[in-house]
Amino acid sequence: MNSKKLILYSSVFAIQGLSNAAIPILPELAGEGNTSPAVSSLLYSGYFIGALLTLLPFGILADRIGNLKVAGLGITLTVISGLFISFSDNLWVLGISRFVEGLGCGAFFPAAFSMLSEWKDSQQSLGEFNFLLNAGLAAGVFFSGMLAELGIKTAISIFTLLAGFSFVLFLPEARKMKSSGNSGRKKEKYVTSNSKASPGEQPGTLMTFEPARYLKKAGQTFFESGFWKLWGISVLLYGATGLLTSNYPDYSAGFLTKPELGLAISASYVAAMLSSLAAGRTRAGYKSIVRAGVILAAAGILLSVKAPLLAFFLIGAGGGAAVIGLVAAVSRISSSGVAMGLFNTGIYAGLGLIPVFGSLFIGPLGYETVFFGSSLALLMILFVKFE
């Protein structure tokens, strides 16, 4: 395994593990004397807000100064935020640290996806990368709960150390970039084709950085070759599954215990890990992979009213497979950081906005009607033609 791949693989596990390690202990992080749900929600959503606001800007930056540099910035921000969360109990510090952790996510993922999509074994590498992504999410939740008796922040400290390990792996690459004389002031060429460049970098020019020009290019990319369709699919797919996941604890309160609910949700991560590897190694085209993922996710949402464990397994399998096909489709249009930033923005917009919007209909319509409607909406994706 080459050094750049090792950096990305170790980093994605640590970044996702650290992000989820906070979830089971949100009430404790908020403080014993603070029982307001808004405080816990702030600590939870601070991460996603930071990521959503910076995915595109950091994607633009990756195109200008190089993918590996921006991915390294993401790792650095993750380590810094993890240290503050580990050693501080101040609510403001914790909230700001979760936001900075989201900034690290926003820097890392567009650059990482851009690097992976440029390699010859891109589909297999994307599958392995997404396997470790979901493994990190599952490990973060699991170990945070299991190790809470040893100390509320034990799991957070462990994943901070793992992120530190990735940072140490990045340092030799940073020294190589510094010694080569590439200070980061050179502007990278904006790539709108699917041509392959060397991992972590793109051809550079000496043109001055112009934000308006990059935003114009981002707009062109969004409407180029059906990219907007792929973006819309990611919003709908991950929004629909997020709608179910966010509301399922209340819906299932009468027939599932907390351990049973935790087992069901964990099954989605395990399924996503397995389907990511399978999708990465299959010879099927990206269109077939996306459609198979959509069908699995829609079936899982439908089954959620009768078979929770199977339902979440199918949802995880669908999401894990679909993201491989979607990234492959995006990279055929452009493997630039801007394109990957736009794509990831779609995922986070779906996860952050659709559950809130969809929940407004639960009162008048009921849980099952809303779940059924979201499943039908997903199946509409099968009629979308994209290249």
pLDDT value at position 48? 83
Q: What CA–CA distance (Å, rounded) separates 145 from 21? A: 8
Across the chain, which has 387 residues, the per-10-residue mean pLDDT values are: 90 94 78 59 78 90 91 97 94 92 95 89 89 91 84 93 96 86 43 40 45 65 78 92 83 80 84 92 90 96 93 95 91 83 87 82 92 95 82
pLDDT value at position 215? 63
Domains parsed from the chain with CATH numbers: 1-179 (1.20.1250.20), 217-387 (1.20.1250.20)
pLDDT value at position 194? 40
Cα separations in angstroms, 348 against 49, 53, 167, 232: 9, 10, 25, 12
pLDDT value at position 40? 64
On whether the pTM is more than 0.85, the answer is: no
SS3 of residue 205 by DSSP: strand
CB 93 within 8 A of CB 81: no
pLDDT value at position 196? 43
CB 338 within 8 A of CB 60: yes
Q: What CA–CA distance (Å, rounded) separates 262 from 273? A: 17
pLDDT value at position 206? 38
